[in-house]
Amino acid sequence: MDVSWLDDAGGHSQRLDFLRTVSSPEELGAALRSHLHAGIC
């Protein structure tokens, strides 16, 4: 998954590779939080 965002420092992008397929919005949120720093999620 490619995640892109804007903040005060400009535009950013990061590619995330999850170990398994998520099956709900809650699982997606948990997977994103485990890969990205707290300032994003």
Residue 41, pLDDT score: 53
pTM of the model: 0.55
Model confidence pLDDT, tens digit, residues 1-41: 888 989 899 999 888 888 889 999 999 888 888 877 655 55
Residue-range domain boundaries for the chain: 2-35
Q: Terminal CA-to-CA distance of the chain, rounded, Å?
A: 15
**Dist CA 4 CA 2 (whole Å):** 7
Q: Which two tokens stand for residue 2?
A: 């490619």
Three-state DSSP class for 17?
coil
